[in-house]
Structure 1
Amino acid sequence: LFVIYYGLPQSGIHLSSFTVAVTGFTLNVGAYNAAYMTTAYNALNKYETEAAVVQGLNKRQVFLWIILPQVLLSSIPALTNQVINNLKDSTIVFLIQYTEFFARIQEVAATSFKFFHAYLFAAIVYLIGVTFIVGLTRFLEHRLLRHYGQDY
């Protein structure tokens, strides 16, 4: 974030704090997700794709019906952790002068002198967000497992 926020203006490129935050997180998430997907892809049994080709499936069908479902299934836990980490790491954008949720909570706590209440509210909001994300990914994982005939 610092390289984008402070480095690009040196080159004459000026971006808003929000744009820098989105760009920085997108690059970070893209790199991690590529690593998760690559690991899941490398763990695949190569004989399954060869068998699919022998059965007459083209490359697109092999990717959509054989490779992609298995890669998604095996990478769901890592991707869920990444989404939760992004939620937690979003507070770092305060350092590039973009005021996000937790920064607003700190402002409210400082003006009202009710730090415990403000931070408790923030904790509850984060807990609800993480619980929703975990529930959604468990639902997705169970649905994929059921669709492809595997046990929970």
Structure 2
Amino acid sequence: AGWLARLRDELAGDPGWPERFARLDAALAARLASTAPLDPHLLAAWRRLDGSGGAVGVAALAGELGWSRRHLSVRFRREFGLPPKTVARLLRFERAYASLGRTLLTADAAVPDQAGWAERAARWGYYDQSHLIREFREFAGATPAALTAPGSHSSNPA
């Protein structure tokens, strides 16, 4: 069995949550200590993607590093488990999803948010409204409008 299967068995044998978390912390720290340091180019790429909320394109990111798009994608995926384009999509979605709560709060305020979904899509870095809706369906399983319905979003108090 691999280290993860052994860890799962050990965690199941621990008597309570404090012991499980201590074991998990120790196991993850040991795994991190035994890995090679992260390539500074990849760290810079990750930080650039995260800092832009997924708005920077892969071609631009590769150009900033002096790498080809393919080289960046292969190295990024090997290190982080996902290609940079997917990470950018997830970061963009995360920002848009988190903004739904602010949209709901604004709508409940005395001055409602008059922006339509197309305007919000542009604000959140999507090409158009249909792009926004496709991403929400893929990542959240519902459209943004459905998620803003009363009782459907974690930040929706109704």
Shared fold, TM over 0.5: no
Normalising to structure 2: TM-score of the pair?
0.24
Greater share of helix: 1
Give the alignment's TM-score, normalised by structure 1. Answer: 0.25
